[in-house]
Amino acid sequence: TKQRRLPRARRSSQHITALSPQPEALLGATLHWVDHIVPVLQEQEDAVVATSTAPKTNRATPSDETVVVHAGEKVGSMAGTDSITTPIVSGTTHWFKNSDDLIAFKEGRRHSFEYGRYGNPTVKVLEDKISALERAESTLVTSSGMNAIVATLLALVPPSAGHVVTTTECYSEARAFIRDKLSRLGIKVTFVELNDTETLKAVLDKGDVTLYYTDSPTNPHLKCIDIKLVAELCHHKGALVCIDSTLASPINQKPLTLGADIVVHSATKYIAGHHDVIAGCISGSDALISRIRVWHHDIGGTISPDAAYMIIRGLKTMALRVDTQNRTALRMARLLENHPMIERVYYPGLTTSPWHHIAKSQMTGSGGIISFEVASDLHGVMRFIDALEIPFIAMSLGGCESLVQQPAVMSFW
């Protein structure tokens, strides 16, 4: 076996790694669920790599920290460039070499792009990256989180025959759309309490439920649903399950691995992470995302390549950001819980939370949002907020800056 000694790795203050340039090592690290190649990092100061004809052993699944950086970028739609950074392809129209080339594209024998509303190389990288994070076959990125919710509901719930079951604490704008808009299309709507399993079973027993939709965790009380249990109940009766996992992030929770069929996010929040771009995303099987994509093309909720690039850049630090937010939020929740002027704290990471056991079973962290009640009235809470020095008074979440809001005078005005 021919051996090659690698250059001495530069010493780091924390750890030392050496990168193998051998194509065999790179190919051996190819992921079956991600269409890209991840370099194999070896924690040795002086690494000796030998090529071998021995059968490859199963390699560990790359961490989320690795996936957010590399997924979707090394091969696929950006394979033709040698730029480490994903380029922004701003063209709206893509041309074909000849008629045979066009026909090959239409018949699916050649991967390319045709028109910006149907797809874009930069956006495709973002979609592949999110698919890798969510362990999904496919992802569709949209112009906003609400666009993702609407496209999903319209595509998967048939008018005049569909039945949506949702919870009383799902995202307020989604709840209003389901209640006021879907009902006009002849779609039956049923609201249940998040933790009322018996009522959910009774509704499912009627046999006409098309889709179960909810958030987990919810906003603002951060209640968590047992996704695995709900998925089992719904699938037994032929219903699909869609989870809005925005308040968890793909780092803390992966609903598809727990049995959900669809997961949606407001990518504006943790995924983009810098309060500077609006987007949404939908992940699931190829079959379901294809159905939603058809509606998406008609609705026209297309994200720009520039926005997609900004989210790709933000994603690369998401694992680091969310980990820090998890730790900071837990410290703050514990401080507030023991403060005499705070009546109640809502945070699933606290052992005193009624949702702690569910969160612990399906989440790796509880997120960067804390809700709490101040021992005062409406105006006393305003005085408390106005006295804070660091947080901005603003809605949204998931960015680098600390935000604070009083729902009674902002999001629930």
Pick from 280, 314, 348: which residue ends a domain?
Answer: 314
Q: Average pLDDT in the 350-372 region?
A: 97
pLDDT(335) > 70: yes
Q: What CATH number does residue 148 fall under?
A: 3.40.640.10
Q: What are phi and psi of 133, to 5 degrees?
A: -65, -40
Q: Which residue has the tokens 């992940």?
A: 283
Report yes or no on 143 lying in a domain. Answer: yes
**Do 335 and 153 form a contact (C-beta atoms < 8 A)?**
no
Q: Average pLDDT in the 257-280 region?
A: 97
Find which of 72-81, 151-160, 295-304 is predicted with most confidence, using mean pLDDT.
Answer: 151-160
Residues 247 and 225 in one domain: yes
Please enumerate in sequence order all residues whose Cβ is within 8 A of that of 323, keeping only pairs 6 or more positions apart, or say none.
Answer: 251, 365
Residues 137 and 262 in one domain: yes
Residues 172 and 220 in one domain: yes
Q: What CATH number does residue 365 fall under?
A: 3.90.1150.10
pLDDT(242) > 90: yes
Report yes or no on 47 lying in a domain. Answer: no
| Gap between the Cα atoms of 239 and 209, Å rounded | 6
Residue 373 β-bridge partners: 344
Residues 289 and 326 in one domain: no
Residues 190 and 240 in one domain: yes
Q: Which residue has the tokens 């704008």?
A: 173
Query: 58: pLDDT confidence band, cut at 50, 70 and 90?
Result: low
Q: What is the DSSP string of 114-130?
A: -BTTT--HHHHHHHHHH
Please enumerate in sequence order all residues whose Cβ is within 8 A of that of 154, keeping only pairs 6 or more positions apart, or say none.
Answer: 295, 299
Range of the domain at 299: 64-314
pLDDT(187) > 90: yes
Of 265, 281, 280, give the one whose Cα is nearest residue 367: 265
pLDDT(227) > 70: yes
Is residue 382 within a helix (H) or strand (E), and if so which, with residue range?
Answer: helix 378-387
| Gap between the Cα atoms of 153 and 189, Å rounded | 12
Residues 290 and 324 in one domain: no
Q: Average pLDDT in the 217-227 region?
A: 96
Residues 166 and 121 in one domain: yes
Report yes or no on 42 lying in a domain. Answer: no
Residues 236 and 338 in one domain: no
Query: 259: pLDDT confidence band, cut at 50, 70 and 90?
Result: very high
| Gap between the Cα atoms of 11 and 49, Å rounded | 19
Report yes or no on 15 lying in a domain. Answer: no
Q: Which residue has the higher pLDDT, 180 or 110?
A: 180
Number of domains in the chain: 2
Give the side-chain half-sphere CA count within 13 A for 170: 26
pLDDT(317) > 60: yes
Query: 162: pLDDT confidence band, cut at 50, 70 and 90?
Result: very high
Report yes or no on 37 lying in a domain. Answer: no
Report yes or no on 299 lying in a domain. Answer: yes
Q: Average pLDDT in the 47-74 region?
A: 66
Report yes or no on 13 lying in a domain. Answer: no
Report yes or no on 40 lying in a domain. Answer: no
Give the side-chain half-sphere CA count within 13 A for 247: 23
Of 20, 27, 26, give the one whose Cα is nearest residue 3: 20
**Do 362 and 257 form a contact (C-beta atoms < 8 A)?**
no
pLDDT(303) > 70: yes
Residues 147 and 190 in one domain: yes
Residues 77 and 175 in one domain: yes
| Gap between the Cα atoms of 152 and 296, Å rounded | 9
pLDDT(309) > 80: yes
Residue-level length of the chain: 413
Burial class (CB in 10 A: 0-12, 13-18, 19+), 377: exposed
Do β-strands 138-142 and 392-393 pair in parallel, antiparallel, or remain unpaired?
Answer: unpaired
Given this model, what pLDDT does residue 71 score? 85
pLDDT(49) > 80: no
Query: 281: pLDDT confidence band, cut at 50, 70 and 90?
Result: very high
pLDDT(47) > 50: no
Cis ω on the peptide bond leading into residue 407 (within 30° of 0)?
no
Given this model, what pLDDT does residue 42 score? 35
Pick from 261, 288, 314: which residue ends a domain?
Answer: 314
Give the side-chain half-sphere CA count within 13 A for 168: 7
Give the model confidence (pLDDT) of 110-138 as tens digits.
888 887 788 898 999 999 999 999 999 99
Least confident of 63-72, 81-90, 97-106, 332-341: 81-90
Q: Which residue has the higher pLDDT, 3 or 156?
A: 156
pLDDT-above-90 percentage for the chain: 68
Q: Which residue has the higher pLDDT, 386 or 15?
A: 386
Please enumerate in sequence order all residues whose Cβ is within 8 A of that of 402, keeping only pairs 6 or more positions apart, or say none.
Answer: 390, 391, 392
| Gap between the Cα atoms of 263 and 257, Å rounded | 10
Burial class (CB in 10 A: 0-12, 13-18, 19+), 55: exposed
Q: What is the chain's mean pLDDT, rounded?
A: 85
Residues 144 and 80 in one domain: yes
Given this model, what pLDDT does residue 27 score? 34
Pick from 258, 292, 314: which residue ends a domain?
Answer: 314
Residues 81 and 185 in one domain: yes
Query: 359: pLDDT confidence band, cut at 50, 70 and 90?
Result: very high
Q: Average pLDDT in the 165-176 region?
A: 93
